[in-house]
Amino acid sequence: MRLQINGEGRDFPGPLSLTGLLEQLGTKADRVAVELNRQIVPREQWTQTSLGDGDQLEIVHFVGGG
């Protein structure tokens, strides 16, 4: 399955949930927001959100500091 992540095409074995994708990317779920096909996906829906070939995702990382 081919996904577009932050403007970059990447291949993944399917089927895949949004949670599974974040795990494969090594992303800490408590530090990101995810937009799937121009819609923000609430964190509580990540495990039920299935990804399909050609989906476009924007993953935004929160950075703290002072």
Q: Encode pLDDT of 6-63 as tens digits.
A: 999 999 998 999 999 999 999 988 899 999 999 999 999 999 999 999 999 999 998 7
First to last CA, the chain: 40
Neighbours of 53 (CB within 10 A): 10
Burial class, 17, CB count within 10 angstroms (exposed 0-12 / middle 13-18 / buried 19+): middle
Q: What is the CA radius of gyration of the chain?
A: 12
Query: Measuring CA to CA, which residue among 61, 62, 36, 58 is closest to residue 49?
Result: 36
pTM for the whole thing? 0.89
